[in-house]
Each structure stands twice: as structure tokens, then as C-alpha cells.
Structure 1
Amino acid sequence: MCIFFGASSSPACANYALRKTAHDNKDQFDVEVIDTLLNNFYVDDCLRSTSTEEKVTSLAQDLIDICGRGGFRLTKWVSNSKSVLESIPLSERSAETKVLDFDESLPSQKALGML
């Protein structure tokens, strides 16, 4: 399948190819991985959360693996968990994020009696 990016049909073609990848590989991956492919992608963005960092780390690796089977390369990974991001190769992480280190002592100010 060849997808022409920028054409008005590109999102539908990408969605079809992603769904086909999920269906073609449903017997080799956990149902949560297949469900994520089918229900948590909007065009080329995936938004998914899990209850633990271990689960999302495993899910991320499985998504990389299954998408690779369909000819997709997942990139621009972002997470609010440092350990999850460290499990993703640096080359696949988003370069456009801001690092906020809340472990540092930030200045505080009172407003309306609240700190």
C-alpha cells in the first residue's frame, strides 16, 4: 500500500493501514495492544494512559513492535514519566518538549491567603 501524504485521502489511508495491522497481528499481541491501535489513534497521534509505569512501558514496546510489522515507525514519544521515557530510544522521543523539574525548590508567593 502506498500512502500519499498531504492528499485529502491520506488520513483515511493511514487509518485503514493501522487498523489492518491490528487485525493482521491480533493473535500475536495482547488485547490491550490491539485495542490501543483500534481506539486510541487519531490519524497519526496516539493518546493512552495506564495504571502503572510498568504497564505503559510494556505497552509502548508492544506498540513499537506491532506497528513495525505494519511498516509504521512510531516517533515523537512523550510521557509524564521519566522512567517511561527512558525506556524509549532517544532517537524516537520528541525533541520539542520542555523539561520541568519540580524537584527543584521553586519560589512561592501568597495570593489571597494561599501559598
Structure 2
Amino acid sequence: MYHQVHVSPEHKDLIRFLWWKNGDLDKEVIEYRMTVHLFGAISSPSVAIFTLMKTADDNELEFGSDAAKFVKNDFYVDDGLKFVPTAAEAIQLINSSKAMCMKGGFKLHKFLSNSKEVLAAISPEEMAGSIESLNLSKDSLPIERTLICSLVTPSKRRHFFNRLQLVNNHRLRGQDER
């Protein structure tokens, strides 16, 4: 996720690393500047989350407050988890959230749901790897775990989707799997 958030040109001098040409420690050290945020930098999680929140704020009027609230309140870094009463609401929220995030340069994918109706509305390439080859007319839905939540499907009448992976090419302007 972090590699998807670009560092603005005026801030590239602030994220540097050293390397030896061809990994040879006898060669001269080369200094590099990062053009994207990196995993392991102490600032990367806050920068990524800020960028995602900024995307929701910037696009709330166009895509609705439900999508913005979902992005702002129901994500843990790059995973989103949301329960809604109906499959129709889940599908609407998925579509508006995908469009909102795409406008900010993010691509939501790796969707899961405990509803075959919701899954049928999602293209196979946008589904989580564990279900992308699932035959919705014959196969039963698997039990999935996410963070601290485990649901047995379809006994609950709530529809959910989770593990939304963010892929982004958003330029950071002082302001995004695992």
C-alpha cells in the first residue's frame, strides 16, 4: 500500500537510503531518494491513512456520504469491513466506494461477502483470491476471517464485504495487503 503513495518532488530529499553498486561493499556508496513511501518508515502508515481520508473528503459530494463514511470509519489501514442490512445496500456501497477511491487513484479489490448476490455483482478479478474461482450457483461460501472477526456464512442475515485491498498511484501533496 505504501509504495502506491508518491512522495512530492519537494519532499524527496527527506526520504533517502544508501546502497552499494551491485551490492558490492567495496564499491562507492550510492545515495538514493525515495519517490514513493516505503514499508517500514515510521511515517508511512499515517501518510497512507491521511491520503485515503483526504480522498474520501475530496469526493464525498460526488459519491455520497455513505461511501465517505465507509472509507473514513471502516478501514484499518488497507482493509475495510462493513455490515449493511441488505445486499442492495452492499452493492451500492461497493460501487460508490470503488468509484470514490478510483477518483483518488486507489483501486479497491479483494472483495469478500457472505452474500452470493453481492458476490455476483463483483467481477472475479476484484474478488479475494480465496473466492475468485468459486461457482456461486453450486459452491457454498467459505468461512473467512478478517482481523478479529470470523463469520459463518450465510446464517447471519447481514451482508458484509471486507479485505478491500488498495492499489493507488496518488501523488502526495503534503497531505494509501498484504
Unaligned ranges ≥5, structure 2: 7-35, 142-178
Match of 1:43 in 2: 77
- Distance in 2 between the 1:11 and 1:97 partners? 28
Does residue 33 (structure 1) correspond to residue 72 (structure 2)? The answer is: no
Match of 1:101 in 2: 140
* More strand as a share of residues: 2
State the identity as a percent.
33
- Distance in 2 between the 1:48 and 1:66 partners? 16
Note if contact 2:87-2:115 (Cα within 8 Å) is conserved in structure 1.
yes
**How far apart are residue 81 of structure 1 and its match?**
0.5
Does residue 11 (structure 1) correspond to residue 11 (structure 2)? The answer is: no
Structure 1 consecutive aligned stretches of length 4 or more whose deviation exceeds 3 Å: 97-100
**How far apart are residue 22 of structure 1 and its match?**
0.8
The number of equivalent residue pairs is: 102
TM-score (norm 1): 0.80
TM-score (norm 2): 0.53
Show CA shifts across 1:66-103 (max 9, x none): 0000110111100001110111111110112496628x
Does residue 82 (structure 1) correspond to residue 106 (structure 2)? The answer is: no
- Distance in 2 between the 1:32 and 1:91 partners? 24
Note if contact 2:63-2:97 (Cα within 8 Å) is conserved in structure 1.
no
Q: Which has the higher contact order (CA 8 A, sep 6+)?
A: 2
Match of 1:110 in 2: none
The structure with the larger Rg is 2
Match of 2:54 in 1: 20
